[in-house]
Structure 1
Amino acid sequence: MTAPARILVAEDEPDVGMLLQEMLAGEGYDVQLVTNGDQLVRRAQEQPPDLIIADLLMPLMDGLEAIRQLRNDTRTAHLPMLILTAVGESARVVEGLETGADDYIVKPYDREVLLARVRSHLRRAAQLPTRNPLTGLPGNVAIQAEISRQLEQQSVFALMYVDLDNFKAFNDVYGFARGDRAIHLLASVLQEQIDPGDFLGHIGGDDFVILHFGADPEALCQRIIRVFDERIRSLYDEADLQRGYLIATDRYGVPRQFGIISLSIAVVTTYLRSFATVDEMSRVAAELKQAAKQVSGSSYKIDRRSDITPASPLTDRRSGNSPDALIVCRNEVARAAIVATLNVRGYRLLIADTEVAAQGLLAHHPHPCLVVAEVIDAASLALWQQLNHSAPLIALVHDQAAAAAARAAGAVAVVWLGNNPLDLSDQLQTALTALASDPE
């Protein structure tokens, strides 16, 4: 037997509230009655109903503020909400609809009209997959609706797309049950780290969305990454943790080493730019997420362009015509110098700090046109050799033995790693110029 729909009514006039409760209960609904906006918010958050009816004018907190708070709470953002208003309050009705109400009923209300609207909104809500079945978070329909609502209100917010890297390999090795645990872990971390009032949704699979209304989305990204990177290790077998990677096949059927699951976060904000539609904002986010996934380990990319910013290299590369260059370098300062040098040359960069991390990048971009990799000994050349020497190698070396091993293996150039980033950049520029003039 199906449980009756639960309706939460907020009405401060006792006679009106009791009449509403009796009328709805008579139709078979489970009705709860509260008398102010504060009680409405608390009750809805504790046990979300199927539908909310709220009077506009109430003590402690009016209906508009209550609806605004409930729309900004992931537990209640998807619920159908109706407002009760008196005749002649058209301006308040408009304000209520813009705040997030789905419909309105004018007092004194017509019994049949009210019941018809309640049935209509409950039926529509039941037909929409508003909740993700795995996490219970608002699903794709609710996410799209919430982003649209915030854009229509010209809100200032950051849209953050979060997903897992190396998740397929994790699923392949450990099975879908443990994969679901990884998704639950990410959902838990996100729920803990977002600010009060932020919206959290689960698109599906390992993809999540946050609408962040604070002023510092970068700090939120850093918190999420720090906590997630600590906790995800608990889902790995100890032997795999000690080794530092899993062995699985990529989408092309090539066996590879995949590092510990990490996060890629794309952040698009309305701080400096305006967006007309959800699709427009989502396209920029997808572009940023792709850029984040070209860096090994947990990373985030924030769109800092404004409405008056001319086209940047990020937007110019949407066509996918830029050649891929794989960078493998443990030293952060040296890696930054290499990135800056290759960026100027127009490469799309795949950035890793170890050979294992590079394997994860190659699983999605298996044919780089250039490899710039740190060579410590002959074993360090294994990654390039797996590519069958299809891309020229510029070897980064610390000593003569590594330089000799790289030259013997066929490296087109040797660049010495020292303490001076400018010197490193100059060496790399020379090697790239020579490569461009003699690609063979």
Structure 2
Amino acid sequence: MTAPARILVAEDEADVGKLLHDILTGAGYEVELVPNGDQLVRRAQAQPPDLIIADLLMPLIDGLEAIRQLRNDTRTAHLPMLILTAIGDSSRIVEGFENGADDYITKPYNRDELLARVRSHLRRAAQLPQRNPLTGLPGNVVIQAEINRQLAQQATFALLYIDLDNFKAFNDVYGFARGDRAIHLLADILRDQIKPGDFLGHIGGDDFVVLHFGPDVESLCQQIIRVFDEQIRSLYDEADLQRGYLLATDRYGVQRQFGIISLSIAVVTTYHRTFTDVDEMSRVAAELKKAAKQIAGSSYKIDRRSDGRCDDGMAPVPTERRTGRSPDALIICQDAVARAAIVATLNVRGYCLFIADNEIAAQGLLANEPQPELVVAELFDLKTLTLWRQINHDTPLIALARNEQEVIDARAAGATTVIWLNNNPLDLSDQLQTALDTLSL
């Protein structure tokens, strides 16, 4: 037998509240009555009902503010919410819709109309897949509706699109049960780290969305990454942690070494740009997520453009060249100063960059893009050159060497050319430019 739908009613006038209670319970619903907006918010958060009815004018917190708070709470954002208002108060009705109300009921109540509206919203809510079955978080339909609602209200917010890296290899080695634990771990971390009033949703698989309404989105990304990188290690066997990787087969059938699961976070904001709908915002997020996934380890990318323009007001520099697509370049370099110089130089030359700080991290990147058209690699050991041979014998390798022995080793292993790795970014950039010109790249 199906349990009756639970309806939470907020009404400060006792006789009006009793009338509502009697009508709804008489129709078979379970009803809880509270006298103000503050208790409405507290009760809805503690035990989310199936539907909310709120009077507009109440003490402590009015109905509009209560609905606004509940719409911004992941636990209650998906619930159908109806407002109670006097006949002819059209401006308050409009304000109610702008704050997240789904419908309105006018006083005095028409019993049949009241019950028809309640049934309609409960039926519609029951037909939609509101929550992800694995995490219990709002699912894709609710996420899209919430983003469109915030855009319609011209709210200032940041959308964080969060995805796991190396998750398939983890699932293949440890099985789906432990894979589900990794997804639950990420969901719990996101719940703990987001701010009050932020929205959290689970698109599906290992993809999550956060709507953040504060100005500190960069520090939020950094905190999420820090906590996740610490806690995800608890799901690995000790032997794999000591080794630093899992052995698994990529989608091309190549066995590779996959590092510890990491996060890629794409951040799109309405701080300096406007978006017409969720589809437009999602396209930008997908582009940024792809860019974040080209950097090994946990990373985030923030769209800092202002309505399609860069921070300095100039249009973005096109990166297409040759056949109309950007050639891929793999960078394997642990030295942060040198890596920044290499990235800057290759960006100017129009390359699509895949960036790793060691050979294991590079393996994970190659699982998605196995045939780069250029490799620039620091020589940690001969494993790096072995990795290069697995890519393509014809792929140019520009080796980074610190001493004469590394130069000899690189040339013996077949490096196309060698440049000196030093602490002078300008000199390193000049050497790389010369090497690229010599190779006609």
TM-score category by the smaller chain? over 0.9
Number of the residue aligned with 1:409: 413
- Amino acid in structure 2 at the alignment position of 1:100: G
> Is this contact kept in 2: 1:375–1:395, CA < 8 A?
yes
Deviation at 1:88, TM superposition (A): 2.2
Distance 2:122 2:325 in 1: 49
What is the 5 A alignment of 1:180-191? Answer: 180-191=180-191
Q: Is 1:57 aligned with 2:57? A: yes
Distance 1:350 1:314, change over 3 A: farther
Q: Is 2:296 the partner of 1:296?
A: yes
The answer on whether the counterparts of 1:84 and 1:105 sit within 8 Å (CA) in structure 2 is yes
> Which residue is 1:339 aligned to?
343
3-state secondary structure, aligned to 2:439: helix
Map Cα deviations across residues 214-234 of structure 1 (whole Å, 9 max, x no partner).
012111000000000000000
CA contact (8 A) 1:377 1:405 kept: no
1:255-281 C-alpha deviation (Å, 9 max, x unpaired): 000000000000000110001111111
- 1:2 maps to 2
Aligned partners of 2:316, 2:112: CA distance in 1, in Å? 58
Give runs of aligned pairs for residues 173-322 of structure 1, distance below 5 A: 173-307=173-307, 309=309, 310-313=314-317, 321-322=325-326
Q: Which residue of 2 aligns with 1:400?
A: 404
Q: What's the offset of the Cα at 1:85?
A: 0.3
The alignment of Structure 1 onto Structure 2 pairs a total of residues equal to: 436
Corresponding residue of 2:438: 434
Q: Check if 1:383 corresponds to 2:387.
A: yes
Counterpart code for 2:186: L
Q: 2:106 is matched by which residue type in structure 1?
A: V
User: Which residue of structure 2 aligns with residue 43 of structure 1?
Assistant: 43
The equivalent of 1:150 in structure 2 is: 150
Helix, strand or coil for the counterpart of 1:73? coil
State the 1:380 CA deviation: 2.9
Determine the structure 2 residue equivalent to 1:91. 91
Given candidates 366, 369, 374, the residue that maps to 2:373 is 369
- In structure 2, what is the Cα distance between the partners aligned to 1:14 and 1:313? 65
CA contact under 8 A between 2:265 and 2:289: conserved in structure 1?
A: yes
1:377–1:402: 8 Å Cα contact kept in structure 2?
no
Question: CA 1:312 to 1:417, structure 2 compared with 1: closer, same or farther past 3 Å?
Answer: same
Note if 1:355 corresponds to 2:359: yes
Task: Indicate if the aligned counterparts of 2:262 and 2:297 stay in contact, CA closer than 8 A.
Answer: yes
- Tell me if structure 2 keeps the 8 A contact 1:9–1:31: yes
For 1:170, give the aligned amino acid.
F
Question: For structure 1, which segment, 415-424 or 15-24, has the greater mean C-alpha deviation from structure 2 after superposition?
Answer: 415-424
Q: Distance in 1 between matches of 2:214 and 2:27?
A: 43
1:97 to 1:254, Cα distance in 2 relative to 1, 3 A = same
* Cα distance, 1:191 vs structure 2: 0.6
Cα shift at 1:315: 8.3
Equivalent-residue separation in structure 2 for 1:360 and 1:188 (angstroms): 26
* CA displacement 1:366-406 (0-9 Å, x = unmatched): 11000000114433311101113231100011122221111
Q: Give the distance between the partners of 2:324 and 2:51, measured in 1 at CA.
A: 47
What is the DSSP-based 3-state SS (H/G/I as helix, E as strand, rest coil) of the residue aligned with 1:209?
Answer: strand
Are the aligned partners of 2:359 and 2:383 in contact in 1 as well (CA < 8 Å)? no
The separation in 1 between residues aligned to 2:230 and 2:284, in whole angstroms, is: 29
Contact 1:327–1:373 (8 Å) recurs in 2: yes
- Rounded to whole Å, the distance in 2 between the matches of 1:332 and 1:311 is 28
- Distance in 2, matches of 1:295 and 1:288, equals 11
* Partners of 1:55 and 1:83 within 8 A in 2: yes
| Amino acid aligned to 1:106 | T
Q: Is the 8 A contact 1:376 1:402 kept in 2?
A: no
Write the letter of the residue equivalent to 1:250: D
Amino acid in structure 2 at the alignment position of 1:368: P
Structure 2 counterpart of 1:47, one-letter code: Q
In structure 2, C-alpha distance between the alignment counterparts of 1:104 and 1:386, rounded to whole Å: 65
Tell me the equivalent position of 1:167.
167
- Give the deviation of 1:87 after TM superposition: 1.3
Mapped partners of 2:2, 2:227: distance in 1: 41
Query: 1:149-189: per-residue Cα shift (whole Å, max 9, x none)?
Result: 00000000001100100000000000000000000000011
2:67 counterpart letter in structure 1? I
> 1:72 touches 1:199 (CA, 8 Å); kept in 2?
yes
TM-score under structure 1 length normalisation: 0.97
Code of the aligned partner of 1:373: A
Deviation at residue 311 of structure 1 after TM alignment: 3.9
Letter of the 2:410 counterpart: A
Q: Displacement of 1:308 after TM fit? A: 6.2
1:3-23 Cα shifts (integer Å, max 9, x gaps): 110000000010010111111
The answer (yes or no) to whether the contact 1:376–1:397 under 8 Å persists in 2 is no
Deviating above 2 A after TM superposition, structure 1's stretches of 4 or more consecutive aligned residues are 313-317, 376-380
Given that residues 376 and 398 in structure 1 are in contact (C-alpha distance below 8 angstroms), is that contact kept between their aligned partners in structure 2?
Answer: no
Q: TM-score, normalised by structure 2?
A: 0.97
User: Equivalents in 2 of 1:20, 1:315: separation in Å?
Assistant: 63
Q: What amino acid is aligned across from residue 28 of structure 1 in structure 2?
A: G
SS at match of 1:114: helix
Q: 1:172 to 1:308 in 2, by over 3 A?
A: closer
Range that drifts further, 376-385 or 297-306: 376-385
Question: In the superposition, relative to structure 1, how do residues 316 and 144 fare at CA in structure 2: closer, same or farther (>3 Å)?
Answer: farther
Distance 1:230 1:398 in 2: 33
**What value does the CA root-mean-square deviation take over the aligned residues?**
1.4
